[in-house]
Amino acid sequence: MDSYNIFLEYYDKIVRWINSPLEDEVEFLNEQIEKYKWKDKSNITILETACGTWTVAKEFKKLGYSINWLDINQKMIEIAKTNLDEKDLVLWDMTNFDLWKTFDVLFCNYNSICHLLTWQEWQKFFSMSYKHLKTWWILIFDINTLFEFENITRDFAQFYNFWEDTVCLEMFKKSWYYEWLIKIFKKTPDWRYDLIEENVKENSFPIEMIKKELKNKWFKVLEMIDFHYWNVNQESERVYFICEKRD
Ligand SMILES: C[S@@+](CC[C@H](N)C(=O)[O-])C[C@H]1O[C@@H](n2cnc3c(N)ncnc32)[C@H](O)[C@@H]1O
């Protein structure tokens, strides 16, 4: 999968320093685990799917959890491995994988599920999550809502300056999905700028449709949380689902 290969150089700085600081994300996820399943952290096993450059997983490891990871992007995995002192990172598609074991907690965060463009892929991800979780344990994932994508595609462009380079992010609505256009203006040694472009596709589905599907797959939605304002409503932009695997 080619998405993020060029943007990767700036990914952690934009996502984890500016848009959703790492401490906030880790604190939020840790709180959800403690709220619903309190036990000694070293006895809790986590699988993080779509782990990216391993920034979140690394913090969970520091907190004492036992954690496994997978991602589909070879370059993400390579960067993640520079953060790792072990090699158990797996290059795998979260819609179709088999780790031959079950976990207490499975999470897929920072709207990674939205990188699955079709509803069938979302359904497969829920099935994979069910298969890899222990009964009564939890799946945590978040989405960018359709409301958020519609907003971003209307009138939005973000600019970030890094040293001499500028990164511009814009999103466009395509026929049945959404697409980020990432433009990187990179300063050359002879004081010109190279323009490098990359596209990242995303999609989302109505919250009620997701809830219904989770129920069909034998998950109980324990809570839905608006990451910014807590209460979920029609104008929520980023929504977390905390779900329990039932028998
Ligand atoms: C927005 S990034 C989030 C990364 C990480 N979860 C974080 O919080 O920083 C989305 C990640 O999803 C991964 N991804 C996209 N489709 C995937 C798939 N089908 N299976 C596994 N990973 C996937 C990408 O490679 C990328 O690392």
**pLDDT score of 3:** 67
Residue 66 has pLDDT above 70, yes or no: yes
Residue 1 has pLDDT above 60, yes or no: no
Beta bridge partner(s), residue 184: 167, 196
**Domain residue ranges in the chain:** 15-145+204-245, 148-202
Sole residue written with tokens 């370059």: 75
State if residue 71 touches ligand 1 by the CB under 6 angstroms criterion: yes
Contact 156, 19 (CB under 8 A): no
| Strands 133-144 and 238-245, bridge-based pairing | antiparallel
Residue 18 has pLDDT above 80, yes or no: no
**pLDDT score of 5:** 73
Over residues 163-201, the pLDDT tens digits come to: 889 999 999 999 999 999 999 999 999 999 999 999 999
Across the chain, what does the average pLDDT equal?
Answer: 91
Mean pLDDT throughout 3-24?
80
State if residue 95 touches ligand 1 by the CB under 6 angstroms criterion: yes
Question: Where is average pLDDT lowest: 59-68, 75-84, 210-219?
Answer: 75-84
State if residue 72 touches ligand 1 by the CB under 6 angstroms criterion: yes
Mean pLDDT throughout 47-67?
91
CATH number for the region 148-202 comes to 2.20.25.110
Q: What is the side-by-side order of every strand in the sheet holding 165-173?
A: 158-162, 165-173, 178-187, 193-202
**pLDDT score of 20:** 81
Alpha-carbon distance of 154 to 84, in angstroms, equals: 40
**pLDDT score of 12:** 78
Comparing 15-145+204-245 with 148-202, is the CATH topology the same?
A: no
Query: Separation of 48 CA from ligand 1 center, angstroms?
Result: 10
Query: Separation of 52 CA from ligand 1 center, angstroms?
Result: 5
Q: What percent of the chain is modeled with pLDDT above 90?
A: 71
Residue 50 has pLDDT above 90, yes or no: yes
CATH number for the region 15-145+204-245 comes to 3.40.50.150
**pLDDT score of 244:** 97
Beta bridge partner(s), residue 198: 182
Query: Separation of 195 CA from ligand 1 center, angstroms?
Result: 25
State if residue 110 touches ligand 1 by the CB under 6 angstroms criterion: yes
pTM of the model: 0.94
**pLDDT score of 40:** 81
**pLDDT score of 85:** 60
Query: Separation of 109 CA from ligand 1 center, angstroms?
Result: 8
State if residue 52 touches ligand 1 by the CB under 6 angstroms criterion: yes
Contact 116, 95 (CB under 8 A): yes
Over residues 82-119, the pLDDT tens digits come to: 766 655 678 899 999 999 999 999 999 999 999 999 99
**pLDDT score of 88:** 66
Mean pLDDT throughout 13-33?
88
**pLDDT score of 2:** 57
**pLDDT score of 42:** 84
Would you call 176 helix, strand, or coil by DSSP?
coil
Over residues 120-176, the pLDDT tens digits come to: 999 999 999 999 999 999 999 999 999 999 999 987 899 999 888 999 999 999 999
CB atoms near residue 2 (< 10 Å): 11
Spatial CB neighbours of 10, under 8 Å, sequence gap ≥ 6: 160, 162, 165, 167, 184
State if residue 47 touches ligand 1 by the CB under 6 angstroms criterion: no
